[in-house]
Chain A
Amino acid sequence: MSYKFLSAIKILRPNTPMCFVGEIETEEDFNKVKWETGIDENEFSITTTTCPHSEITWTKVSEKMEALT
């Protein structure tokens, strides 16, 4: 299922850095995705679980995922 999620994100907004554990199948999972907002001086990601990209919402993502099935 994570492949569909990744494919949906690539369609909605290519080059969107993020990370997540396990699979993204529900809105609850989606809200745990860590979106990269920057990189610190030690090259670690700076992330937020609030998606900063207007192109990416759970509604849009789930629709794309559904279309990919």
Chain B
Amino acid sequence: MALSKIDVANMLTGVTPVANGGTALSSGFTNGKLLQVQHTNYSTAVSISNLGYETTGLTCAITPSASDSKIFAMFKLQCRGHSITSSYDWGYSCKVTRTGGATGDIFEEKSGSGESFSTYYSADGDTTHTSQHSSFQFLDTTHDTTSAITYTVYAKSQSASEAAKFQDSTFPSQFTLMEIAA
């Protein structure tokens, strides 16, 4: 049986090549720049057939440690369309607004009208049901605050006759915020 030798001295003082997943640096290595992570799991059903934006109930809050940091956000919306008929289209647009230390819209996923809603489904036959998870992400580089910010996800429906039911049957929607150092 072959014996393997471990070069303990070089493990302590040597470098790991990039090809092996290392940095090839023996010094000057800096810590990662991910400062904090916040996460929300939300499962209360909210039905929306409004043509203007209404809250989905999904929010996530973070208190930035630096005013010049970046907030990388990812959220996943669970949504169901029930009994969609050929008479109407189903879909929704969504946007995220800030309250607290920073305010205003920070993200919007939509276009003008018709089939350009960000999440869209058209039934061209008998009654149809659909359920889906859609993921979105954005980067907030303008918060300029160290006060708490709450991000809230709003949505509006493609058709007033075809509601978008978020967090249907307690399937959750989720929101994750990561603060990245400047």
Contacts and interface: CB of A to CB of B under 8 A. Distances in A.
Nearest to A2: B47
A6 B47 contact: yes
Interface in B42-65: 44-54, 57
A39 interface: yes
Interface string B64-92: 00000000000000000011000100000
Given A3-B82, A17-B157, A45 B44 contact: no
A43 B50 contact: no
Interface residues of B, number: 25
B49 A16 contact: yes
Nearest to A45: B52
A58 interface: no
A40 interface: yes
A17 B51 contact: yes
A7 B156 CA distance: 19
14 contacts: A2-B165, A15-B159, A17-B49, A17-B157, A18-B49, A19-B46, A19-B48, A19-B49, A19-B50, A22-B45, A23-B45, A36-B54, A40-B52, A45-B50
Interface of B: 44-54, 57, 82-83, 87, 95, 105, 154, 156-157, 159-161, 163, 165
Interface of A: 2-3, 6-7, 10, 14-23, 34, 36, 38-40, 42-47
